Amino acid sequence: MSTTTMNRPRVITGVGRLVRRLEHERRRWSRTESPVVPTEQAWRAGVAEGLRLAQVAIRKGV
């Protein structure tokens, strides 16, 4: 058995953990506790979208 084959399950698990962490952070950035100014709302939406795009790229293996 080669070292590449032995390391694969760990890599897949790590990617899953990263994707779950990004989902957690995206949800945290998407939600607001109090009324915010439109600029902050747009900024938070941009951060959440960036995290979502990172998840998609990781899942595709980019």
For residue range 15-47, list pLDDT tens digits in order: 788 888 888 888 887 776 776 788 888 888 888
47 CB contacts (<8 Å, ≥6 apart)?
A: 29
Measure the CA–CA gap between 43 and 49, rounded to whole angstroms. 10
For residue 7, pLDDT over 70 is answered with no
pTM for the predicted model, two decimal places: 0.56
Q: What pLDDT is stored for residue 16 in this prediction?
A: 81
Nearest-5° angle of CA 23, CA 52, CA 4? 75
Structure tokens at 19: 């994707």
